[in-house]
Structure 1
């Protein structure tokens, strides 16, 4: 059967709508092409999803749709091309960059407080932040309205995280405690987890929660990693291998693998179930300040004081790519849910948020507006909005109008 002829799974043009008497009933690539001229956006999207079945002819139609007047159609075409070979992807990025229209949509002043960490809930509704004023603030991501303020820490909040269920906020502080909060109310779910390693002298720098919300990993200033059972607040395992403080931490989506980045310039990969050290990754020349894992669990991304971002094969420890562009240390990174896009925030000499295409390493956009270094970045699950905090005492929300 010829590639461009109708096939058994082709849809008759028009769907449930009566076909005009003078219209041809078309399947195959001709039917896809015809439906892409429809005024109905949903029909054009459906036609694109079928176009992938028709080889190069279908790919050409997908490329043409990168310039469609509908943002939904353009985005569908862009996502369909993500699975293509690298040269095809590079061509697509030249013709359509979904982040080129991003600008600052909202700016929230935090008065005299510096926000050190921001997080977005899995449903994209809430923005949670913590900073030097010892408080955790919950805002509506879309309106910026402060919904509630959580008080309880006795020193600045270093890091905040939200459980995958969206019900619980986790925070760690210079007061050496980890606290759990109900996102829907101001009532704490306990007195917090007191970190007492090294006689209480060492602090908790970063935290991460596994996919089922049952285990919390805490990176400590003394180079150890504490694993906590969230339900009973039990510290059931302590991992020791780093020579200096843990500055970043991440867990795979399946909860099996833990990655830790340290001031000793290394990244260590651990088996969560057994605590076994699987790999030590060497390549950065300064502190590893941020880590993130692509949702498929195959690739680890790291950012460091050496101004670079590195991509690693999580199974083998192989260095896959190095992204360069920041003029200062890379303080924070975030990855979109589809694993295609990386956001990074630079230090005081840089002041920029950079957006990258992960598969090709292509820089997509540079967001400027902060007057000081970027302390934290987060991205909505859809990738439609980015949040950044800075030492300029503001939080900014970025997106396309």
Structure 2
């Protein structure tokens, strides 16, 4: 069942959102809670993520910078500079000590959160890099991009140890499951593929959307996956049975991003229609309802 909620999606009672108006919004979803706007980027915000402990928020932008925000200190941020083109995504390592970014300059970069500096770059992509993520144990990085490849990197040797290229268009998003045994990747060709890293074999292939997939999120149990597409829908996949179980139609335009909460009882979706929809998750029935329609401008493209 998907039903209205009164609590949060990311950490404590807060949930972050980046938008084309160059601002970061952090929503307090408790009763009588407020929304806080953080300004500093000089161009569109393309990615946003809370740190694992909820004390920091990282944002990436078309202004070629990453900013690290302290939510309790309104307006203050640290700027990270090293990329020479739009940064498409930013993500924390699971211990919160590092950031990984993906950029149109064809590179993946790793940063130290504590020292607030650039550490190293991974440079084998031949076109824009759309997304990069750490494995749960921090030993691997997965990245994907417009060269139609998904690359797997060893963080100790800084070498590419595998490359998956079976795409009919750009590879748009990539992430590890909660146990780190698999990665999923999505494409502009509307495909979603899951690879077993123990065998380096493709184990599941879904073609359930009618347009490109922009984002997806594994449920913490590894049993489900939600995907966001330019076809205006959110889809829920049962990975144990290998099938589509729900299609959600709450957005009026492309759905740009989706994310499960850490316990997995909630998820949020953000769309080009300017809506952020917050859902309570229970997969026993097919009902659903949106509860949040706040942001006056589009979510990041």
Same fold judged by TM-score > 0.5?
A: yes
1:176 is the counterpart of 2:106: yes
Structure 2 residue corresponding to 1:281, chosen from 202, 206, 210:
206
C-alpha deviation, 1:309, in angstroms? 0.4
C-alpha deviation, 1:130, in angstroms? 0.9
- Shift of the 112–149 alpha-carbon distance from structure 1 to 2, 3 Å rule, reads closer
Structure 2 residue corresponding to 1:367, chosen from 277, 293, 296:
293
Give SS of 1:237's match: strand
- 1:333-348 → structure 2 map (5 Å cutoff): 333-347=258-272
C-alpha deviation, 1:111, in angstroms? 5.1
Structure 1 residue corresponding to 2:47, chosen from 104, 112, 117:
117
Native 8 Å contact 2:41 2:61 kept in 1: no
Which residue is 1:195 aligned to?
Answer: 124
1:307 is the counterpart of 2:232: yes
Native 8 Å contact 2:38 2:75 kept in 1: no
CA deviations over 1:265-300 (Å, ceiling 9, x no partner)? 111111022220111101100001101001111101
Aligned pairs, how many?
277
Give SS of 1:363's match: coil
CA deviations over 1:301-336 (Å, ceiling 9, x no partner)? 101000100111123321111111100001011111
Instruction: Give distance in 2, aligned partners of 1:119 and 1:356.
Output: 19
CA deviations over 1:143-167 (Å, ceiling 9, x no partner)? 2343421111111111000000000
Instruction: Give distance in 1, aligned partners of 2:186 and 2:232.
Output: 15
C-alpha deviation, 1:364, in angstroms? 4.7
Instruction: Give distance in 1, aligned partners of 2:233 and 2:30.
Output: 23
Give SS of 1:362's match: coil
Instruction: Give distance in 2, aligned partners of 1:127 and 1:178.
Output: 19
- Shift of the 103–156 alpha-carbon distance from structure 1 to 2, 3 Å rule, reads farther
Native 8 Å contact 1:130 1:158 kept in 2: yes
Native 8 Å contact 2:191 2:213 kept in 1: yes
Which residue is 2:277 aligned to?
Answer: 354
Which residue is 1:331 aligned to?
Answer: 256
Which residue is 2:116 aligned to?
Answer: 186
Instruction: Give distance in 2, aligned partners of 1:102 and 1:345.
Output: 22
Native 8 Å contact 2:183 2:197 kept in 1: yes
1:256 is the counterpart of 2:185: no
C-alpha deviation, 1:362, in angstroms? 2.6
C-alpha deviation, 1:223, in angstroms? 1.8
Structure 2 residue corresponding to 1:154, chosen from 84, 99, 112:
84
Native 8 Å contact 2:229 2:254 kept in 1: yes
Which residue is 1:228 aligned to?
Answer: 153
Instruction: Give distance in 1, aligned partners of 2:30 and 2:233.
Output: 23
Which residue is 2:242 aligned to?
Answer: 317
Give SS of 2:115's match: coil
CA deviations over 1:211-235 (Å, ceiling 9, x no partner)? 1011111112122110000121110
C-alpha deviation, 1:103, in angstroms? 5.4
Instruction: Give distance in 1, aligned partners of 2:267 and 2:256.
Output: 13
Native 8 Å contact 2:41 2:63 kept in 1: no
- Shift of the 102–132 alpha-carbon distance from structure 1 to 2, 3 Å rule, reads farther
Which residue is 2:10 aligned to?
Answer: none
1:266 is the counterpart of 2:266: no
C-alpha deviation, 1:142, in angstroms? 2.4
Instruction: Give distance in 2, aligned partners of 1:180 and 1:97.
Output: 36
Instruction: Give distance in 1, aligned partners of 2:157 and 2:32.
Output: 43
- Show structure 1 runs of 5+ residues with no match: 1-85, 376-390, 392-401
Higher relative CO (Cα under 8 Å, sequence separation at least 6) belongs to 2
- 1:67-146 → structure 2 map (5 Å cutoff): 97-98=6-7, 101=31, 104-110=34-40, 112-146=42-76
Higher share in strand: 2
Instruction: Give distance in 2, aligned partners of 1:193 and 1:302.
Output: 27
C-alpha deviation, 1:102, in angstroms? 7.0
> Could you say what the CA RMSD is over the residues aligned between the two structures, in angstroms?
1.9
